[in-house]
């Protein structure tokens, strides 16, 4: 059976970004095709109930860890607190991950929901991960960004590492 992988929908060409555009990544699409993955698209911000287009959101401080721990917040450009929508979207993305048996995720870097390593806060781009990406990682799902296809390739080629992590994520 083909391996499923959770993918940020905007990378696949869905026009779900805050400004109503997509961020299609042809390199990532080719990678998924060449490796026989079946992508499962999710947009955590839409799943959380935010509209498209929408006002862009940033962390007040910190990243997804703070939000999941209950001491971080996200606000849109109008000053509206959107933390609840980001939490709902992250949990919905996790539920879809489990429903579809995804053991890996490929997500959009620098997004406050999806970014695995970098996010925007009031000061600009900071190290940290988005709310959905953080929740997935906590649940044992390895999360790669579209800028890490070489690392994902290495991960897939490292049979021992792959088995250790993927078997563990399957058991959790």
Contact residues: ligand SF4, CB under 6 A: 8-10, 16-17, 43-45, 108, 111, 113-114
Nearest by Cα to 117 from 69, 39, 64, 79: 64
Distance CA 11, CA 17 (A): 10
User: Phi and psi for 80 in degrees, rounded to 5?
Assistant: -80, 135
Quote the least distance from Cβ 108 to ligand SF4, whole Å.
4
Q: Say if CB 28 and CB 144 are below 8 A apart.
A: no
Nearest CB to ligand SF4, comparing residues 44 and 66: 44
Q: At a CB cut-off of 8 Å and minimum separation 6, what does 34 contact?
A: none
Nearest CB to ligand SF4, comparing residues 80 and 158: 80
Quote the least distance from Cβ 133 to ligand SF4, whole Å.
9
Nearest CB to ligand SF4, comparing residues 103 and 108: 108
Nearest CB to ligand SF4, comparing residues 125 and 161: 125
Q: Say if CB 22 and CB 10 are below 8 A apart.
A: yes
Structure tokens at 6: 């959770």
Quote the least distance from Cβ 123 to ligand SF4, whole Å.
20
Quote the least distance from Cβ 24 to ligand SF4, whole Å.
11
Whole-angstrom distance between the N-terminal and C-terminal Cα of the chain?
21
Nearest CB to ligand SF4, comparing residues 17 and 82: 17
Quote the least distance from Cβ 82 to ligand SF4, whole Å.
12
């Amino acid at each position: 059976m083909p391996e499923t992988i959770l993918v940020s929908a905007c990378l696949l060409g869905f026009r779900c970004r805050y400004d109503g555009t997509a961020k299609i990544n042809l390199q990532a699409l080719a990678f998924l095709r060449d490796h026989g993955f079946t992508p499962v698209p999710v947009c955590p911000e839409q799943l959380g109930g935010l509209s498209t287009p929408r006002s862009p959101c940033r962390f007040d401080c910190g990243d997804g860890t703070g939000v999941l721990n209950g001491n971080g917040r996200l606000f849109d450009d109008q000053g509206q607190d959107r933390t609840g929508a980001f939490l709902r979207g992250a949990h919905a993305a996790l539920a879809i991950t489990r429903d579809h048996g995804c053991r890996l995720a490929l997500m959009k870097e620098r997004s406050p929901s999806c970014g695995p390593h970098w996010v925007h806060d009031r000061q600009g781009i900071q190290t940290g991960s988005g709310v959905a990406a953080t929740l997935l990682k906590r649940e044992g799902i390895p999360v790669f960004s579209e800028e890490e296809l070489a690392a994902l390739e290495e991960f897939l080629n490292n049979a021992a590492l792959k088995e250790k992590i993927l078997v563990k994520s399957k058991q959790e």
